[in-house]
Amino acid sequence: MTNGRRPVTGWDAAGAGALMLTVNLMCAGAGAGLGALVGATVPGLVTGFFAGFFLAIAVVAKRFRGL
């Protein structure tokens, strides 16, 4: 019997990692930008980084759910 799913490859892992990194860095950049507007660049960067980490996990889980 065959499973209807394709096997997980190294490309899938690399794609998930790249997607996580991209989402995390974009959120950190947005947090730093918003923080710079109010004069708190570093706290905005850190807040964006941590928010991006959890958002990245959610995005990768949704994107690669079928694997």
- Residue 5 in domain: no
- Residue 2 in domain: no
Q: In the chain, how many domains are there?
A: 1
* Residue 8 pLDDT exceeds 70: no
In order of 3, 5, 9, the CA distances from 25 in angstroms are 36, 31, 25
Contact call for residues 35 and 44 (beta carbons, < 8 A): yes
Domain span including residue 37: 32-67
pTM over 0.85: no
Q: What is the pLDDT of residues 11-21, one digit of tens each?
A: 777 888 898 99
Provide the 10 A C-beta neighbour count for residue 4.
5
* Residue 4 pLDDT exceeds 80: no
Contact call for residues 56 and 41 (beta carbons, < 8 A): no
- Residue 26 in domain: no
- Residue 55 in domain: yes
* Residue 22 pLDDT exceeds 70: yes
Q: What is the pLDDT of residues 27-67, one digit of tens each?
A: 999 999 999 999 999 999 999 999 999 999 999 989 887 76
